[in-house]
């Protein structure tokens, strides 16, 4: 009896000493690291295991520094990016020396740091496990995995092994607790798609369950949406190696949209490689985000933040918090009366004052087509200090009601796309987007823009055929803002915002119609 009490007492005492901070009830401290990887100069060339380990150790050395730095700030979980240890641009053969054997954590309880000799070719796993153990935090990292298969397995590749893009999760004791094999590969010829979809969850003592998926997975139903809808996941760890594409698919923009759309927390770690357009990591909650996006810096970045626990039972103060959720009185029935100047400004006159003159025009608005992110968008210009616009394509009609105090020397347009996206992946999207154009001529709409000054109050909506709609709100300098209202009103899904924090780059409703892929 006495002994038990002492144990309890000692355990409590140790805990107090070991943890850098006392954690607030219902909260935890998360960390993500945007890593600038040390890459193999010749990824397509064959090398040996020793050289592969040498290169990977250099990245792991940086990981260890970050784990220690995160521990000092009280982090209980840290997430590292996809491809952060081995790099990218390998062939199936050339990546082989970088691959490790990752046993199924459900079949074998294994602590690679404490039992290093249980499996061969697991040096990276051992180091990751030791980092988790030493710093007493959950650790999520991405590695390449190999798994022998039988020739009588009809899916077994001819070389007798599977190669998977794999996330591994260690608990605070260094035990391997989860393994996720990426489902939606992005032209990664070194890797195989797993024979069946991995739905991976892991449990933590500080925040309950987390789901796991990787990079391109965020655009597809399996497993990302399944985890949320069928498995009730409220928190996600998300290693990624994401190449930004404006105006709709920059990393931080879409990561936040996923957290907002599903009302979940997302811990997202991206690669830092500005030359390839890779930057953008963050810790996202439905109400607040802590992000990093930097195209100039050459350095990685550790983000540490204390956030609320999200569980299916416990949704912290969402209704009572800053974001009002009153219903929206839209759409107006009078979209026929569009305030559009029917005079096309010629190139010489394309200045702000040209748009000031508004006049009632019952005729068709000035519609034009531009390629935006390889899709043929139908657009109308946004002119004057206020107005209402409508533009349709296929079965999707988008509406915009807007107001701005002054007209800046910038051109905006409302665009719609309802169709199958076919470049760099095939997926069906329905999009309503208010975008800032690259210049003052219509041909510049859809270009990549990062800065803006216009403060536009707006309501943007559309009669979407899917319920999976990701709200994007990107501000000048790749900053984020949150919508005031979001939701369905009859058959229309709307977002609205007034009092923007800085100039508007993109406001969009990005719908995914998964059944149409
Ligand atoms: C990897 O390949 C992409 C496209 O295939 C190329 O643009 C990029 O420069 C390559 N990166 C490295 C680090 O070799
Ligand atoms: C970690 O190890 C300690 C001591 O061996 C044990 O009491 C605890 O349950 C372990 N925690 C987890 C999450 O496995
Ligand atoms: C875009 O769509 C419009 C309307 O369907 C069509 O007239 C135009 O040719 C298309 N543009 C391109 C580049 O495909
Ligand atoms: C959206 O509205 C347009 C115009 O009213 C209509 O033609 C179209 O069928 C609607 N789409 C859906 C999915 O209801």
Structure confidence by residue, pLDDT tens digits, 314-355: 554 343 333 333 333 333 433 333 333 333 333 333 333 333
Strand, helix or coil at 397? strand
Which is more confidently placed, 52 or 9?
A: 52
358 has pLDDT over 70 = no
426 has pLDDT over 60 = yes
Half-sphere exposure of 42 (CA within 13 A, CB side): 5
Residue with tokens 């890779």: 278
| Dist. CA 89 → ligand 1 center (Å) | 6
Buried b / exposed e across 345-365, counting CB within 10 Å, b at 16+? beeeebeeebbeeeeeeeeeb
Confidence at residue 312, expressed as pLDDT on a 0 to 100 scale: 79
Residue with tokens 């559009």: 340
Residues comprising the chain, all counted = 517
For the residues 20-48, what does the mean pLDDT come to? 92
Mutation test residue for ligand 2: of 173, 176, 204, 207, the one with most atoms within 8 Å of CB? 173
Q: Is the pTM of this model over 0.85?
A: yes
Contact in structure between 372 and 391 (CB atoms under 8 Å)? no
Residue with tokens 């050289």: 51
For the residues 278-286, what does the mean pLDDT come to? 97
Q: Point out the catalytic residue in the list 34, 100, 130, 182.
A: 182
Phi, psi of 61 (to 5 degrees): -60, -45
Q: Whose alpha carbon is nearest atom 14 of ligand 2?
A: 173
Integer Cα distance of 135 and 123 in angstroms: 19
Integer Cα distance of 248 and 445 in angstroms: 13
Contact in structure between 376 and 369 (CB atoms under 8 Å)? yes
360 has pLDDT over 60 = no
**Among the listed residues 34, 449, 30, 64, the one whose alpha carbon sits nearest the alpha carbon of residue 273:** 34
For residue 478, count CB atoms less than 10 angstroms from its CB and return exposed for 0-12, middle for 13-18, buried for 19 or more: buried
Structure tokens at 368: 């034009």
Asked about 345 being catalytic, the answer comes back as no
| Dist. CA 138 → ligand 2 center (Å) | 12
Which one of the ligands is nearest to 493 CA? 4
> Kind and range of the H or E element at 7?
helix 2-18
For the residues 493-497, what does the mean pLDDT come to? 98
For the residues 211-234, what does the mean pLDDT come to? 98
431 has pLDDT over 80 = yes
Q: Whose alpha carbon is nearest atom 2 of ligand 4?
A: 397
**Among the listed residues 377, 369, 366, 347, the one whose alpha carbon sits nearest the alpha carbon of residue 440:** 347
For the residues 19-47, what does the mean pLDDT come to? 90
Confidence at residue 15, expressed as pLDDT on a 0 to 100 scale: 37
Query: Which atom belonging to ligand 2 lies closest to the Cα atom of 171?
Result: 13
Residues near 437 by Cβ (< 8 Å), separated by ≥ 6?
410, 411, 412, 413, 444, 445, 446, 447, 449
Mutation test residue for ligand 1: of 189, 276, 277, 424, the one with most atoms within 8 Å of CB? 276
11 has pLDDT over 50 = no
Residues at CB less than 6 angstroms from ligand 2: 171, 173, 175
| Dist. CA 265 → ligand 2 center (Å) | 26
Confidence of residue 455 (pLDDT cuts 50, 70, 90): very high
Integer Cα distance of 136 and 61 in angstroms: 17
Integer Cα distance of 235 and 389 in angstroms: 37
Integer Cα distance of 70 and 50 in angstroms: 30
Which is more confidently placed, 325 or 157?
A: 157
Contact in structure between 458 and 497 (CB atoms under 8 Å)? yes
Q: Whose alpha carbon is nearest atom 5 of ligand 2?
A: 173
| Dist. CA 16 → ligand 2 center (Å) | 16
Asked about 82 being catalytic, the answer comes back as yes
Does residue 38's CB lie within 6 angstroms of at least one atom of ligand 1? no
Share of the chain above pLDDT 90, in %: 83
For the residues 244-264, what does the mean pLDDT come to? 97
Residue with tokens 């600038």: 36
Q: Point out the catalytic residue in the list 82, 100, 188, 410.
A: 82
Confidence at residue 22, expressed as pLDDT on a 0 to 100 scale: 67
Beta bridge partners of 307: 28
Confidence at residue 23, expressed as pLDDT on a 0 to 100 scale: 80
Q: Which CATH architecture has domain 30-314?
A: 4-Layer Sandwich (3.60)
Structure tokens at 469: 């709609």
For the residues 418-443, what does the mean pLDDT come to? 97
| Dist. CA 175 → ligand 2 center (Å) | 9
**Among the listed residues 302, 250, 299, 239, the one whose alpha carbon sits nearest the alpha carbon of residue 277:** 250
Contact in structure between 261 and 237 (CB atoms under 8 Å)? no
Integer Cα distance of 336 and 365 in angstroms: 10
Contact in structure between 464 and 509 (CB atoms under 8 Å)? yes
Confidence at residue 70, expressed as pLDDT on a 0 to 100 scale: 98
Q: Whose alpha carbon is nearest atom 6 of ligand 1?
A: 276
Strand, helix or coil at 60? helix
Instruction: Convert the pLDDT of each residue in 95-132 to its tens digit.
Output: 999 999 999 999 999 999 999 999 999 999 999 999 99
Q: Whose alpha carbon is nearest atom 12 of ligand 1?
A: 89
Identify the sign of the CA torsion 430, 433, 438, 439: positive
Q: Point out the catalytic residue in the list 113, 130, 215, 432.
A: 215
Calculate the average pLDDT of the chain: 88
Q: Whose alpha carbon is nearest atom 4 of ligand 1?
A: 89
Contact in structure between 135 and 67 (CB atoms under 8 Å)? yes
Asked about 64 being catalytic, the answer comes back as no
Confidence of residue 496 (pLDDT cuts 50, 70, 90): very high
- Of 23-37, 145-159, 310-324, 327-341, give the lowest mean pLDDT range: 327-341
**Beta strands 427-436 and 504-512: pairing type?**
antiparallel
Mutation test residue for ligand 4: of 336, 391, 395, 432, the one with most atoms within 8 Å of CB? 395
| Dist. CA 331 → ligand 4 center (Å) | 13
Strand, helix or coil at 52? helix
Strand, helix or coil at 216? helix
Query: Which atom belonging to ligand 3 lies closest to the Cα atom of 371?
Result: 13
Does residue 369's CB lie within 6 angstroms of at least one atom of ligand 3? yes
Q: What are the domain boundaries of the chain?
A: 30-314, 332-516
Calculate the CA 81 to chain-centre distance.
Answer: 12
472 has pLDDT over 80 = yes
| Dist. CA 371 → ligand 2 center (Å) | 55
Confidence at residue 408, expressed as pLDDT on a 0 to 100 scale: 85
| Dist. CA 376 → ligand 3 center (Å) | 6
**Among the listed residues 34, 40, 69, 71, the one whose alpha carbon sits nearest the alpha carbon of residue 57:** 40
| Dist. CA 90 → ligand 1 center (Å) | 10
Does residue 491's CB lie within 6 angstroms of at least one atom of ligand 4? yes
Integer Cα distance of 158 and 176 in angstroms: 29
19 has pLDDT over 60 = no
Confidence at residue 311, expressed as pLDDT on a 0 to 100 scale: 80
Strand, helix or coil at 9? helix
Does residue 376's CB lie within 6 angstroms of at least one atom of ligand 3? yes
């Amino acid at each position: 009896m006495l002994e038990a009490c002492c144990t309890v007492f000692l355990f409590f005492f140790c805990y107090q000493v070991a943890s850098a901070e006392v954690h607030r009830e219902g909260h935890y401290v998360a960390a993500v690291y945007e890593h600038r990887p040390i890459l193999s100069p010749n990824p397509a060339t064959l090398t040996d295991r020793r050289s592969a380990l040498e290169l990977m150790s250099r990245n792991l050395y940086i990981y260890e520094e970050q784990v220690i730095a995160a521990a000092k700030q009280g982090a209980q979980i840290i997430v590292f990016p996809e491809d952060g240890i081995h790099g990218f641009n390998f062939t199936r053969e050339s990546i082989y020396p970088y691959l490790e054997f990752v046993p199924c954590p459900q079949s074998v309880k294994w602590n690679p740091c404490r039992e290093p000799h249980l499996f061969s070719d697991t040096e990276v796993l051992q180091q990751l496990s030791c980092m988790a153990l030493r710093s007493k935090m959950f650790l999520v990292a991405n590695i390449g995995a190999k798994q022998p298969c039988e020739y009588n397995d009809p899916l077994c590749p001819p070389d007798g092994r599977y190669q998977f893009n794999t996330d591994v999760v260690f608990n605070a004791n260094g035990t391997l607790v989860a393994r996720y094999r990426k489902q939606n590969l992005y032209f990664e010829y070194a890797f195989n798609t797993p024979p069946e979809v991995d739905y991976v969850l892991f449990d933590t003592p500080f925040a309950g369950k987390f789901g796991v998926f990787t990079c391109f997975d965020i655009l597809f139903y399996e497993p990302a949406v399944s985890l949320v809808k069928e498995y009730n996941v409220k928190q996600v760890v998300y290693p990624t190696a994401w190449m930004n594409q404006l105006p709709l698919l920059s990393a931080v923009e879409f990561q936040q949209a996923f957290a907002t759309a599903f009302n979940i927390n997302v811990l997202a770690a991206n690669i830092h490689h500005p030359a390839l357009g890779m930057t953008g990591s963050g810790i996202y909650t439905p109400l607040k985000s802590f992000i990093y996006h930097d195209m100039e810096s050459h350095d990685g970045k550790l983000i540490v933040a204390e956030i609320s626990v999200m569980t299916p039972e416990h949704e912290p103060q969402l209704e009572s918090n800053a974001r009002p959720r009153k219903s929206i009185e839209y759409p107006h029935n009078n979209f026929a009366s569009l305030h559009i100047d029917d005079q096309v400004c010629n190139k010489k006159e394309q200045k702000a004052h040209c748009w000031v003159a508004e006049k009632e025009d019952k005729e068709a608005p000035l519609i034009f087509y531009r390629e935006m992110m390889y899709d043929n968008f139908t657009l109308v210009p946004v002119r004057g200090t206020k107005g209402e616009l409508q533009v349709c394509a296929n079965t999707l009609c988008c509406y915009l009601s807007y107001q701005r105090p002054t007209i800046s020397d910038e051109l905006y347009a409302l665009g719609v796309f309802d169709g199958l996206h076919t470049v760099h992946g095939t997926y069906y999207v329905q999009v309503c987007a208010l975008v800032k154009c690259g210049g003052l001529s219509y041909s510049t709409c859809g270009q990549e823009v990062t800065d803006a000054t216009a403060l536009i109050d707006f309501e943007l909506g559309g009669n979407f055929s899917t319920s999976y709609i990701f709200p994007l709100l990107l501000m000048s300098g790749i900053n984020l803002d949150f919508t005031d209202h979001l939701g369905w009103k009859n058959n229309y899904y709307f977002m609205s915002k007034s009092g923007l924090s800085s100039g508007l780059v993109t406001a969009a409703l990005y719908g995914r119609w998964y059944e149409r892929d």
